[in-house]
Structure 1
Amino acid sequence: MRPTNPPRRIRHIHIESGALKMDYRASAKQAQDVADELTGSGYSGLELRITVDDNVTDDLPALPCAELWD
């Protein structure tokens, strides 16, 4: 019997900086990795507010270049 991969949990990631507001859907790992990277010390000069939650809707676009976060 071959092991099966568990289904990927899809999350909503909201990225905000001033008037710029972006919302995407991504796998749970991708969303958390992006949030961790953008809130890391390398981006301390930016005022970013990032949330990851389960408010996923069909109209949310996929995270751009999501395969880079796999």
Structure 2
Amino acid sequence: MITDTLFKTDDIQKRKHFIELGDKVKEDGGEVVVFSSLHDSGEQLNQLTGIAVILNYPVPNLDESDEEND
């Protein structure tokens, strides 16, 4: 998740960094969602850092491991 303000910044190096980051995420099979700074969700994300990530990892079923230990 990234706000459009990071892609529209006047700092060209910073803009290039975020564009390359988005391209890398897409190459690695991830999804990039751009939030508009004109929308509430984009405003809230901008108040944090302007960029966020959701990571998904498989979690073993903890109930099964407890049964095996008994």
Return the structure number with greater strand share. 1
TM-score by shorter chain over 0.5 = no
Bigger Rg over Cα: 2
Scaled by the length of structure 1, the TM-score of the pair is 0.29
Scaled by the length of structure 2, the TM-score of the pair is 0.29
